[in-house]
Structure 1
Amino acid sequence: MDKWAELRTAYQVAKLGTVSAAAELLGIHRATVNRHIDVLEAELGARIFLRHARGYALTELGEDVLRVAQKTDELIGDLAGRIRGGRTEIEGEIKLTILAPFAGLLMQAIAEFRTRNPLCVVTIDASEDLARLEYGEAHIALRAGQKPEHPDYVVSSFGRVGFNLYAHESYIQRNGLPKDSSELSRHKFVVPPPQDSRLPFRPWIDEHVTPDMVALTSRDIWVGAEAVSAGIGIGFIGDHEAQRRGGLTAMLPPDEDWSVPGWLVTHVDLHRTEKVQAMLNCIKSTRQSQAAG
């Protein structure tokens, strides 16, 4: 297939939603945009767009074409920047997918990245769904648990992320500080629902926290952290998040079973692009500072 111009045009239509917007961005006539789409669909032998009153919607094939076009556009843009040389700022969008409990570990790195590259927008998807990097759903993924084994992924260690049971000083003032785990039975807890079985501290909760000990439950990690910080009960929070919030005291000694290994994951096709390398460098340098601190 040698329809690179047509592919680029279709990508802009998909991204912007209308022929007019794509034509203006590309500096070509609307008729040329329509012709490029017709040529590309003829080449593929199927529709990539569904036309409607408000613009263009992608078909299932169009979604696949968009992912290929997006990756191609980024690689060509990165190559053009390297050829020009001397470019001091990175432009466009960089997408990260992370687990919500890890978000606080990346904000300093993202702030540093944005300071160096103010024209680049950072998009974060905080979800348990695993983004398919091979389809361009994210540039960088921060994953936890077993090391990803996909043959096209470049994987580096982020280090272990620890959790512990924390209580806010307002809760401790009202209910006292337990001396050890044997005294926890008279306390109230903030816990995720039983469905969240992948959490490293879930076995401890199942063993030690009975239904009558639960003050609040939520699947949202931020809701849980806010509840603990408000003194509603004792709950598991990432050590990094507890330190950031302040006013929280760990209830038990650190436990290796409550920590998980983290992994920075990129796709081999985009790993060496300037944008991805710049963000990875910021993440790794700030992570080293966090570990040293």
Structure 2
Amino acid sequence: MDWDKLRIFHAVADAGSLTHAGDKLNLSQSAVSRQVRALEEALNATLFHRHARGLILTEQGELLFDATKSMTKRLDAASARIRDSEEEVFGELRVTTTFGFGSLWLAPRLPKLYEKYPDLKVDLMLEERVLDLPMREADVAIRMKEPSQADLIRKRLMSVRMCLFASRDYLDREGTPDDISDIADHRLICQSPSSAQVAAGASLVQHLMTFNIRSSLTVNNYFGVLQGVIHNLGIGVLPDYVTEDFPDLVRVMPEIESADVPVFLAYPEELRHSQRIAAFRDFVQDEIISHRKQLRQLGKI
């Protein structure tokens, strides 16, 4: 099917007039009319009802117009992605990361990204499932382990450790444990053993559970664990990056922590030149530098 004819048909259907479509396409009315008639002949179908007030699509015309609208949208999207690789940062950016990192670290920092790039549309997908970047389930990922998928550009951002935290009010009321065996006298708040989580965090929780914990609260994500801790329910297992944004939390038994959890940023090779990806990557890296600087000032690293 001739794309030029389809393009002219789409303009006519959208405008409802041969004259208005011709003005938009910089073609004469007669040239537009010839192309539409040629398309009707090629399809052996009438695409428009013609009357004094303009043109109305027939049933066959409606079917074709639906198809050309879809094609036009896809072409516009492709054009935007091409421009995006060379010009300003705009359009949709689909970011996937874990619920904990996304809700506790990334989301609170996004205002800075939007302040710099107000036309960006971030679709933040928080889930433990690893989305398939080469199959374009997302544009960029921040993961708590090195990605194993092929055809990905990956960069290690930082390391995270799971530590023990409590609120000042809770410790004033219940006392501060001095030794790991003292954890048995406190309520432990942690991720559910059955929930998806990093192996280092799960290992730490398993170790703590061997001390006959008298009471516990398990949640399937770190945001819920944090809520339990700040509401004075007990001692929680949380990633160490919460110390910057929640300064009232107290690190309990600093010698008790998980092994390092590597944090990686990854995106498909085909998006190597995308300005949206570059803008997000640079933003995350700048925020991590700022995060480390803040922790040094607090004397926590």
TM over 0.5: yes
The match for 1:34 is 63
* Residue 75 to residue 261, structure 1, CA distance change in 2 (3 Å): farther
Q: Does 1:291 align with 2:296?
A: no
Q: Measure, in 2, the Cα distance between the counterparts of 1:258 and 1:251.
A: 17
Which one-letter code corresponds to 2:134 in the other structure?
E
Q: Measure, in 2, the Cα distance between the counterparts of 1:209 and 1:258.
A: 17
Q: What SS does structure 2 have at the residue aligned with 1:133?
A: coil
Q: Does 1:80 align with 2:97?
A: no
Which one-letter code corresponds to 1:79 in the other structure?
I
* Residue 131 to residue 202, structure 1, CA distance change in 2 (3 Å): same
Report the TM-score, using the length of structure 2 for normalisation.
0.69
- 1:195-254 deviations in whole A, cap 9, x for unaligned? 136442222322332675233221132111100111101111122223312321111225
Number of residue equivalences:
245
Which one-letter code corresponds to 1:203 in the other structure?
S
* Structure 1: gaps of 5 or more residues: 7-18, 40-55, 57-64
Q: Measure, in 2, the Cα distance between the counterparts of 1:257 and 1:220.
A: 17
Q: Measure, in 1, the Cα distance between the counterparts of 2:217 and 2:84.
A: 52
Q: Measure, in 2, the Cα distance between the counterparts of 1:239 and 1:105.
A: 11
Per-residue deviation, 1:99: 0.7
The match for 2:227 is 226
Q: Measure, in 1, the Cα distance between the counterparts of 2:67 and 2:187.
A: 64
Q: CA RMSD in A?
A: 3.7
- Equivalent runs, 1:150-161 vs 2, <5 Å: 150-161=149-160
1:154–1:267 contact (8 Å) kept in structure 2: yes
* Residue 231 to residue 124, structure 1, CA distance change in 2 (3 Å): same
* Residue 133 to residue 213, structure 1, CA distance change in 2 (3 Å): same
Q: What SS does structure 2 have at the residue aligned with 1:134?
A: coil
Q: Does 1:168 align with 2:171?
A: no
* Structure 2: gaps of 5 or more residues: 16-23, 26-55, 295-301
Q: Measure, in 1, the Cα distance between the counterparts of 2:233 and 2:78.
A: 50
- 1:24-77 deviations in whole A, cap 9, x for unaligned? 9xx9997777327669xxxxxxxxxxxxxxxx9xxxxxxxx9xxx97x865532
Q: Measure, in 1, the Cα distance between the counterparts of 2:224 and 2:84.
A: 43
* Residue 271 to residue 110, structure 1, CA distance change in 2 (3 Å): farther
Q: Measure, in 2, the Cα distance between the counterparts of 1:102 and 1:290.
A: 14
1:140–1:276 contact (8 Å) kept in structure 2: yes
Percent identity of paired positions between Structure 1 and Structure 2: 19
Per-residue deviation, 1:280: 0.9
The match for 1:125 is 125
